[in-house]
Structure 1
């Protein structure tokens, strides 16, 4: 039995770009500490230097051009880009306990909760994010361009009921950097960002939206 947390997760915001390998090592250590009752839950908001990461379902064909360092992430999903202007949220929760309406040990409900978190944060920023059947991530309709594009990605891993990895929200990344991969294995749709949609949000404003939306979904 793990000790009950005093409140919701700790929040941390990185004050510099975090190399991907460093983030993986930090997450792994924190997940082990949570599992052993030596640390509390954590939501860690970071930016990375330009990086391509491969999930457990990634294929060689999904990497079109290795423009940036490539890492095997160990999370679910396929290929993802991380870089400046993108807010990556690493979520480390103990799923042996409920989180708001999310029942213990219910990974499907947890992933649905991450999607809802992004949708509600985007709503606070003036963007309607939506799920799409058969497509991972959060999608927006860009009526000005006549397209439907991904604005946020998800990729999770659960180790002994403690979660790691999480979400990535495109605030203002260089969208041309996504051209080196097939994002999440989806060739028929592109990617977008808040700035491309005409929402000049800062990273701090995106963080505030994410923090405000969290208790609406996860309860604390």
Structure 2
């Protein structure tokens, strides 16, 4: 079998390990959904209090992860540079299976990623997290309020968010953007909970996975969980 030069160091490192270790399948997390959620809460509380958890990312940890990953949560989050999931929750390499896009929506690619993490990696918790001042949701609000047109892929990207804005607007709250962000999260949570594909349906029915929503406030760093 041909092997490129860039892969040689990895192959050499793997070859130096005992066969039993190299052949071992990836271990799944022992955590349940409640325990996973508490870890996220604790990590975020530390972040808010300016005492972030020290994570392990040395060569030993990287070598362990080369043999397989054991994440305990799937996080569907926004691509916004102000919302870095591992930092917000004080987690390190191999702990969070993250799906990010502008507006934290779930298309086919995102859904497939979630199903893979739950069905193949045994992840017990799925968190859908929106955030304060989300630009993608703000664009959807502008479509509803001002009939704004966004060209190219941007328009298609925010289209799934528009129904959430309409729902939030119908409730007549005082902060349409924040209400729309939360409504967008809730729509996605509800969609995942109503999954019909076995990869999600069976773990949900068996109580092996939980889907919850979350909202991140930029100014104080706090993540509030809802629909738990």
- Give the structure-2-normalised TM-score: 0.31
Higher gyration radius (CA): 2
Structure with the higher fraction of residues in helix conformation: 2
Structure with greater proportional strand content:
1
TM-score by length of 1: 0.32
